[in-house]
């Protein structure tokens, strides 16, 4: 399930993130990549333990908390601290799959990575190339979104970032462990949630049809939840 999240960050929040990142330290993105990914990863990244990453990560997490689509589609149990990367001319990230398990911090507790999120901090007209390409059973999806928008997709997906030929692409990226491990079950629950929201716009919250669907939703979630 690949979903476009609109206006995760406000324009003021995007501007603040960009200003902080302009002053931040950047290191090779390969420094925290796995053995396979390191061979195809050519970008820059803000060190995860830096003051800039921590400050901006809190802004991103607060924005996710108020985003109903993210919470409905992902059903987050744990969210890794957001990271920040940058692709300048000639930089790219070849085909790869993100790891299944990741430590919250070096030597800390580990969590399963179910859902990947890329939050764009550059507008499409600021750079050429740089599309996020996600491969799934329905083919290839090329993603290039306005600054402040994000895309979520299963971490099991093969994906890449195309080479930058002009300008610079800035983004935040992170992973979530969902309460529901299976992507298909998450998609069905998200569709059902949307149906309930739509029905509430024409019927009262205590209408028997609404109550019945809400009951079904929670019983399905109870069966699918992996806590």
Shared domain for 120 and 46, answered yes or no, is: yes
Distance CA 87, CA 42 (A): 8
Least confident of 35-39, 95-99, 100-104, 122-126: 35-39
Query: What pLDDT digit, counting tens, does each position of 126-138 carry?
Result: 999 999 999 988 8
For the chain, the average pLDDT equals 95
Of 150 and 33, the structure prediction assigns the larger pLDDT to 150
Going by pLDDT thresholds of 50, 70 and 90, the confidence category of residue 34 is low
Distance CA 112, CA 189 (A): 20
Contact in structure between 102 and 111 (CB atoms under 8 Å): yes
Average pLDDT of the residues in 190-208: 94
Beta bridge partners, 120, equal: 171
Shared domain for 35 and 94, answered yes or no, is: yes
Distance CA 135, CA 113 (A): 17
Angle between helices 11-23 and 51-65 (to 10 degrees): 170
Going by pLDDT thresholds of 50, 70 and 90, the confidence category of residue 105 is confident
Shared domain for 172 and 187, answered yes or no, is: no
pLDDT at 132: 98
> 201 lies in which domain range?
183-224
Contact in structure between 59 and 123 (CB atoms under 8 Å): no
């Amino acid at each position: 399930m690949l979903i476009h999240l609109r206006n995760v960050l406000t324009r003021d929040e995007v501007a603040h993130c960009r200003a902080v990142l302009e002053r931040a330290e950047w290191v090779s993105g390969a420094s925290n990549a796995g053995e396979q990914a390191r061979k195809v990863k050519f970008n820059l990244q803000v060190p995860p333990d830096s003051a800039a990453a921590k400050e901006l990560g809190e802004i991103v997490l607060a924005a996710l908390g108020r985003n109903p689509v993210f919470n409905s589609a992902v059903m987050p149990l744990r969210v890794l601290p957001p990271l920040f990367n940058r692709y300048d001319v000639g930089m790219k990230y070849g085909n790869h799959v993100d790891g299944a398990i990741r430590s919250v911090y070096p030597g800390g507790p580990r969590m399963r990575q179910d859902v990947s999120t890329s939050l764009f901090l550059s507008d499409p007209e600021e750079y050429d190339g740089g599309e996020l390409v996600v491969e799934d059973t329905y083919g290839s999806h090329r993603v290039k979104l306005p600054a402040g928008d994000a895309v979520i997709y299963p971490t099991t997906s093969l994906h890449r970032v195309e080479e930058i030929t002009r300008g610079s692409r800035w983004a935040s990226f992170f992973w979530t462990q969902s309460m529901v491990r299976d992507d298909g079950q998450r998609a069905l629950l998200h569709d059902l949630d949307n149906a309930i929201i739509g029905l509430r716009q024409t019927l009262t919250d205590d209408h028997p049809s609404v109550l019945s669907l809400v009951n079904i939703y929670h019983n399905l979630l109870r069966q699918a939840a992996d806590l």
